[in-house]
Amino acid sequence: MRYAAPALLACLALGACAHVRPADKSLPPAFETVEVNGASRAPAGSIDLDRWWLAFNDPELTGLIEQALAHNPDARTAAAKLTEARADRTEDLVQFAPQGDITASATRTKDIQLAGTVFDFPGFSTSGVTQANAANFNVSWELDIFKFLAARNAVGGDLAAARFDYEGTRATLAANVADAYFQARGLAIQLEDARESARIERNLYDSATKRAQAGLAATSDADRVAGDLAQADAQAAGLEAELQAQRRTILILAGRTIEPTANLAVDASIGALPPVPESLPSELLKRRPDVREAAARITSAYGQGQIDALSLLPTFSYKPGLGWAQQTQPGFSVTIQSIVSGLAVTQPVLSIPKLLAELRAQNARTEQAVDAYEKTLQTAFTDSEGALVRLDADRKRVALLTDGEARAERGYKATKLGYDRGLNDLQTALSAEQSWRSTRSQLTAAQVQAARRTVQVYKALGGGWPAERFPSDKQAR
């Protein structure tokens, strides 16, 4: 019967933490994406997702991302949080090692008898100097290997979560730099287009003026073109300001805040976009840092639940110690050395209801961690498939608009030639010019969107950090 109470408590503890359900890691077997000419995917492993920005073959982009990862405040803050998590892990585990401090004291007392009678006993005097010295080294060691293992799981989960948060922050930063960079290149293209539109409007204005002077057209034609020319010049001025602001944004992301924006070269072209790697939804489990962080949170919560469960059981502490004391007074001196060895047992009794409530609360937090993991996994799949589908549509749109822009340009040039020769009126020339300008603007927008979407796909698939550096995940129980 003397073992009934501990056995009952063990059953209560194990039963209280046994009902935490495992996480649902099921995902569709494949992404439902639309291929563009059957060539929008690269073979698995052919692109280094760890540093996906290298696939663009753009030294300026690579340099900006590497500078951001080294100097951006968000990256430095994430690194500091990871250092803090490592220190917290050491602090939490050290408490299961032997604990103890050395204490020492020394006192000196001088007594002077002013009155009274003292009996003459050997070794006794009321006057003189008394010196007392003492030193102690007391140790306490909680002997609970099971609680230590549970704590190691809990703090290990916290450290892993901090690692993945650090890598996720850096991956997001790299994607933000690339996104801002391609937006800047899009603005540079639009600025070049606006200047080209202004040049075209100026040519039309010159033609209209000459025709009016020759009596071949009304003077109102030149006035009408002058209004369009003013709009084109105003648009170019606005785009210049937008591009300068975007350059500043990129420099701030890269940690180059005080540099002049002229130091950042931005080409007025997007260039050929690299393919995205063939991937399976299940790859998100090992590639996405947010998914792995959520899995690590489960490990931490589960380990904390084990600690709370074990708190219901007896705690054994080994308490050895060493002591030394010396006291010297007139006519008397003594030195004492002590060696202490003891074992203490603590069994919760009246605190059991409180401990059970804490355990139930921790189980609820573990359930929340499981739910958060499942939601994160679902979000990862939604982001990845959505980005892949939209990227395929963007690339198809770019291909169609590229052909359409070339045709619209040829149409405008033919119409402009006819207007110069008096075969067409101004309205026909302006209509053709407007069609070309509109198609060119749509093409630029589609190219920029495709570039930004490519970045989104790389990030959604878990690119931007060295996943293989970390051990396989076992957190999502």
pLDDT in tens, 124-151: 566 777 888 888 888 888 888 888 888 8
Q: Which pLDDT belongs to residue 327?
A: 82
- Rounded mean pLDDT, 172-189: 93
Give yes or no for a contact between 292 and 160, defined as CB atoms under 8 angstroms apart.
yes
Residue 274 has pLDDT above 60, yes or no: yes
Give me the residue label for tokens 């067409």: 424
Give yes or no for a contact between 416 and 429, defined as CB atoms under 8 angstroms apart.
yes
Residue 347 has pLDDT above 70, yes or no: yes
Mean pLDDT of the chain: 82
Residue 470 has pLDDT above 70, yes or no: no
DSSP for residue 476: -
pTM of the predicted structure, to 2 decimals: 0.80
| 296, part of any domain | yes
Residue 210 has pLDDT above 90, yes or no: no
Cβ-based neighbours of 212, under 8 Å, separated by 6 or more: 218, 219, 221, 222
Structure tokens belonging to residue 241: 């300001």
Q: What are phi and psi of 326, to 5 degrees?
A: -140, 135
| 264, part of any domain | yes
Residue 120 has pLDDT above 60, yes or no: no
Residue 222 has pLDDT above 70, yes or no: no
**Parallel/antiparallel/unpaired status of strands 41-42 and 276-277:** parallel
| 117, part of any domain | no
| 66, part of any domain | yes
pLDDT tens-digit map of 149-169:
888 988 999 999 999 999 999
Residue 301 structural domain: 4-96+144-312+348-469
Q: Give how far Cα 103 sits from Cα of 130, 133, 317, 323, Å.
A: 21, 11, 21, 10
309/340: higher pLDDT: 309
pLDDT tens-digit map of 9-65:
555 555 555 567 788 888 888 887 655 444 456 665 567 888 999 999 999 999 999
Q: Which pLDDT belongs to residue 1?
A: 43
Q: Which pLDDT belongs to residue 430?
A: 66
Q: Which pLDDT belongs to residue 452?
A: 92
CATH label of the domain that carries residue 73: 1.20.1600.10
| 318, part of any domain | no
Q: Which pLDDT belongs to residue 378?
A: 93
Q: How confident is the model at residue 177 (pLDDT cuts 50, 70, 90)?
A: very high
| 111, part of any domain | no
In one letter, which amino acid is 412? Y
| 223, part of any domain | yes
| 121, part of any domain | no
- Rounded mean pLDDT, 77-105: 88
What is the tally of structural domains in the chain?
A: 1
